Structure 1
Amino acid sequence: MITDEFSDPARRPVFPPAQTWDAMEMAFGGSLPHHGMPPDELLTLVEDKLLPAAGNPNHPGLMAYVLTASQPFAALMEALVAAIKLRPTTWKNQPASCHIETTVVRWLGEMVGFSDDAAGYLTTGGSWANMVAMAVARVRKAGWDVRAEGLHGHPPLAAYVSTEAHSCIDRSAELLGIGANSLRKVPVDAHFRIRIDVLDNMIRADLNAGYKPFCLIGHAGTVNTGAIDPLDTLADLATQYEMWFHVDGAYGAFAALAPQTRPLFAGLERADSLTIDPHKWLNTPFEAGCILTKRWDDLGDTFSLIPPYLRAAMGEEHNQYEYGFELSRTDRALKVWLALNQHGVDCYRDLVANHLSLAQYLAELVRQADDFELVSTPVLSICCFRFVPPELTPGDEAVETYLNELNHDIEMSLMQDGRALVSGTELNHKRVLRACIASHPTTQAHVEQALTLLQAHGRELHRKKGGPR
């Protein structure tokens, strides 16, 4: 099955056909099993029932969310990791796994210009990494011993991020006790970047109201449009107001590899922490998110129960579990280490540059078409656009309502088509189609096919709907 998935990645639709709860219950539910099944029967069940009900991230037509295909070699090695329960816990028990993780975080920091000697921790993904960053920021910048005293009885904390932030930032504020109401959402400019003037005013207002600004979050490629905040300016503000400066680069930070986009990341090296996800643009299997910091003590002082002076006395015994919340966790770094060693940074630089070019190519196709409207010019590899029948004039309320419904339906229709997949989002109250090109099998031909399919679905749906009422 695994060989088939990689040898013919388009053999299954990119998005699974609609399934009912009853069908899934019949296949995978039922009573607790008291007697075992032979492995060959279980494999048949997986092949006949699970695969047809699973999305296909290896499909070359996948341009949705920030999902990417898996590297075959790294994926196969995940079986070894599971077989021997490889885990980066203590140095005495797992010296190779601990050292591989420290090597991977150092390499990732060097790749994107964050630091040549980064500390870090491999997480499930960007959501967990961003929450770790906010936990570290809380310890470093609250102004009191948060781990011992908690938040009660102290000035309320405030964090700042643009309205384009991923929802995990909201959840992190809630789970860490900061509260969603203390997460300040800063408006963005016409290019979906955080507005510095509004941000500065919000910080000043919070200081006057007795809040403690502790964390400023910038974006190195938002998930909606790939927008990059002015990181250098944000670093200045973080320094001025003594805040922790975190950058969410889960999707976009790897674009710092490409010469044409590297200048956009000026200031990234000044961040205190960075979220970066190898399972996105590096195309490694899940789970491979990562939080990077400049110092190991940033993580150790947040999670370790061993005093710093004893940590230092351990010498070469680097116990990786001391730098995160989890104790029992699988090795997430080996697949990244394997992928980087197999392909090399130059290969990934070319991959990223190619995806940047494909996004620009898609944008040009959209500009040339008479029934598409480019809504956001690609900064990285995300292109946002919408289907607009040429006889309609956007701007009218009834027309805009119809276009929002139409583009939503186009997105849903393409899902069931199975030959390509883009996702949708909302920009300036417009429902748009969003193509994110980050998967290694995707070529120019797949980009052309996706737009052709969207156009065909759009025209057919518009014919059936008949236009605004």
Structure 2
Amino acid sequence: LIYDTASVSSMHAIAAAREASGYNIRRSGMSGAPKLRLYCSEHAHSSIDKGALTLGIGLEGIRKIAVDTEFRMIPAELERAIREDRADGYVPFCVVATIGTTSTTSVDPVNIIAEICEREKVWLHVDGAHAGVTAMLPEMNEHFKGLERADSFVVNPHKWLFVPVDLSILYTRKPEILKQAFSLVPEYLKTSEDSLVENYMDYGIQLGRRFRSLKLWFTFRYFGVDGLQSRLREHLRLGKLFAEWVDKDPLLERLAPVPFSTICFRAKPEGWNDEDKINGLNEKLINQINLTGKVFITHTKLNGKFTIRLVVSGLRTEEKHIELAWNVIKESLLKILS
């Protein structure tokens, strides 16, 4: 199913999970339902929270699960949370795992999480909005173990597959549940062909739909499988190359693994131990870098540390552009330190 953004795709997935909970919320609404609980990691995208808010789950209905040192959801913590919530009268109904979190592109252990969801009879939605496209690379299969056990999965070709905004794809093994949640056909929308074709108005909140799939088709036709794979592989290579430069530089510190092509790092000169001072340095650094107008990079915070993020995903990004970014970063840092 094609929607506009992952925010909307994930909201529909959560709605399907709510419908699958079996409390007939479609008919009676949330007022007569028990307290529902959704689980995601501390590093899940904020769109998951927004989707839950839109569907009446509420912030108290969202439980964030702790992550390990590589920013991956800890399955044992998920199991513990579900057990505690059942004892407290909550109804666990959905778990959202992520393949490629926004801040670090960390990968939750989907296969283990899927086992928990199957045992607990909880819907598993996997957010692969950014990194999901790398599933087309056989060498990246390790990051997608267990994905086939998920109830739904979202990937955004407009993020890293060179398709113009907007286009998000939601896959589900249970389309009948999604249809059950949204299908509503008044007399003026009925046609003699209803039994012959799939009507996508039955699978979401909107009736009219843009022809988004056309630009995806053009992308496939232009690049082909080999062309798309080669570009993704080059981005992954460039990401690893930049990470190597960071690791070798005595003024820089890498703050997260690099499973894809997002590098999280910061400036940390030798002898600097005051975290507030280090955070201030890096905030100045990112502003100085972006003021050059030559490159644009973003930030996040990891364990309270101001973190600079460089992402390699542009269609025309080449090694010379990574070298340019590196030189701008080093020049900006040396200018501040001097």
Coarse TM-score class (shorter-chain normalised): over 0.9
User: Which of 1 and 2 has higher RCO (CA within 8 Å, sep 6+)?
Assistant: 1
CA pair 138-433 structure 1, distance change in 2 beyond 3 A: same
Asked if 1:209 corresponds to 2:88, the answer is yes
Instruction: Measure, in 2, the Cα distance between the counterparts of 1:225 and 1:286.
Output: 22
Asked if 1:413 corresponds to 2:292, the answer is no
Paired letter, 1:456: E
Instruction: Measure, in 2, the Cα distance between the counterparts of 1:422 and 1:362.
Output: 14
Asked if 1:364 corresponds to 2:211, the answer is no
Paired residue total: 335
Scaled by the length of structure 2, what TM-score is found?
Answer: 0.95
Instruction: Measure, in 2, the Cα distance between the counterparts of 1:246 and 1:404.
Output: 35
The match for 2:227 among 347, 353, 358 is 347
Q: Is the 8 A contact 2:298 2:309 kept in 1?
A: yes
Instruction: Measure, in 2, the Cα distance between the counterparts of 1:287 and 1:131.
Output: 16
The match for 1:273 among 152, 156, 160 is 152
Asked if 1:383 corresponds to 2:263, the answer is yes
Q: Is the 8 A contact 1:257 1:352 kept in 2?
A: no
Identical positions, percent: 33
CA pair 347-298 structure 1, distance change in 2 beyond 3 A: farther
The match for 1:258 among 119, 134, 137 is 137
The match for 2:120 among 241, 260, 263 is 241
Cα RMSD of the aligned pairs, angstroms, is 1.8
CA pair 312-145 structure 1, distance change in 2 beyond 3 A: farther
Paired letter, 1:128: V
Paired position in structure 1 for 2:316 = 441
Deviations 1:126-151 (A, max 9, x none): 1111111111111112x211111111
Q: Is the 8 A contact 1:284 1:339 kept in 2?
A: yes
Paired position in structure 1 for 2:278 = 403
Matches within 5 A, 1:91-102: none
Deviations 1:266-318 (A, max 9, x none): 001111101110101111101111222124323211211149xx999834322
- Select between 325-334 and 218-227 the one with higher mean Cα deviation: 325-334
Paired letter, 1:458: L
Instruction: Measure, in 1, the Cα distance between the counterparts of 2:142 and 2:174.
Output: 25
Paired letter, 1:344: G
Q: What SS class does the counterpart of residue 261 from structure 1 fall into?
A: helix
Q: What SS class does the counterpart of residue 121 from structure 2 fall into?
A: coil
Paired position in structure 2 for 1:66 = none
Matches within 5 A, 1:302-341: 302-306=181-185, 314-341=194-221
Instruction: Measure, in 2, the Cα distance between the counterparts of 1:302 and 1:311.
Output: 21
Q: Quote the offset at 1:347 in angstroms.
A: 1.5
Instruction: Measure, in 1, the Cα distance between the counterparts of 2:185 and 2:59.
Output: 32
Write out the 4+ residue segments of structure 1 that deviate beyond 6 Å after TM superposition.
Answer: 310-313
Matches within 5 A, 1:280-299: 280-299=159-178
The match for 2:74 among 191, 195, 207 is 195
Q: Quote the offset at 1:406 in angstroms.
A: 1.3
Flag structure 1 segments of 5+ consecutive residues without an equivalent.
1-119, 464-469
Paired letter, 1:389: P
Paired letter, 2:318: T
Q: What SS class does the counterpart of residue 340 from structure 1 fall into?
A: helix
Scaled by the length of structure 1, what TM-score is found?
Answer: 0.69
Q: Is the 8 A contact 2:151 2:172 kept in 1?
A: yes
Paired letter, 1:405: G
Flag structure 2 segments of 5+ consecutive residues without an equivalent.
none
Paired position in structure 1 for 2:110 = 231
Paired letter, 2:149: R
Q: What SS class does the counterpart of residue 255 from structure 2 fall into?
A: strand
CA pair 350-210 structure 1, distance change in 2 beyond 3 A: same
Matches within 5 A, 1:117-128: 120=1, 122-128=2-8
- Rg comparison, structure with higher value: 1
Paired letter, 1:454: I
Q: Is the 8 A contact 1:258 1:350 kept in 2?
A: no
Paired letter, 2:117: A
CA pair 276-220 structure 1, distance change in 2 beyond 3 A: same
- Select between 419-428 and 340-349 the one with higher mean Cα deviation: 340-349
Instruction: Measure, in 2, the Cα distance between the counterparts of 1:173 and 1:282.
Output: 28
